[in-house]
Amino acid sequence: MSKQPTPLYIGTNRHVAALDPHSGEELWRTKLPHSGGAVVTLLIGKAHIFVGHAGHAYCLDKRLGTIIWENDLPRMGYNPVLLAMDPEKRSQPNPLYIGTSRYVAALHTQTGEELWRTKLPHSGSSIVSVLIGKAHLFVGHAGYVYALDKRLGSILWENGLPRMGFHAVLPAMEGAGGSLGAALAAGQRAEQQQRAAGAAAAGS
């Protein structure tokens, strides 16, 4: 019996769906319960898909698309929600970090319970990006970059990036994972697995 291919997951316009990567056939779709903007962000875990949309965070079952939990992120607004989780951490807890509307927060991945939240000191309308380092979270928002304590969310330092404007700030660091870096790391791992499988098939 052949192994089922890993689905392609997509998020758009209040929906999350899984597609067969070879045929494009739709395997399942889930309509999120709250209306809002069109941006739906995804982060793929071992058994779950974490979803951000219009000021809400969700956890979905990877096989069926059913919603396991949701957190409406009270008093954080209804803007796009960027997601990050440490791809190298194997021990529990391994929080889901979210960035939205001038806030950074940590959620329990099994229940969606909020562990902590931090309101960034400088206002702005840009996205809140989160990068996970070994000891710190690095956060970019509206022309500022911050370092936060991973356990407590306290701000360790900030840099106002003088004369660079007040737009979105996207941090990057070798070996780090985050709201953008996690997707890149997952893609690199998938490519490595495909190359290994191809080499094994060629040698058989």
| Structural domains of the chain in order of their starting residue, each with its CATH number | 8-203 (2.40.128.630)
Averaged pLDDT for residues 171-179: 79
CA distance 62 to 18: 8
Identify the pLDDT of residue 196: 59
Identify the pLDDT of residue 197: 55
Averaged pLDDT for residues 8-13: 96
CA distance 160 to 181: 22
What band does 135 get if pLDDT is binned at 50, 70 and 90? Answer: confident
Averaged pLDDT for residues 52-66: 97
What band does 43 get if pLDDT is binned at 50, 70 and 90? Answer: very high
15-24, 78-87, 111-120: least confident range: 78-87
Q: Give me the numbers of helices (H) and strands (E) for the chain, helices first please.
A: 1, 16
What band does 149 get if pLDDT is binned at 50, 70 and 90? Answer: very high
- pTM of the predicted model, to two decimals? 0.82
The residue with greater pLDDT, 159 or 199, is 159
CA distance 190 to 196: 10
Q: What is the pLDDT of residues 61-98, one digit of tens each?
A: 999 999 999 999 999 999 999 999 987 665 566 899 99
Nearest to 12, CA basis, from 140, 26, 46, 23: 26
The residue with greater pLDDT, 5 or 9, is 9
Q: Above 50 in pLDDT, residue 192?
A: no
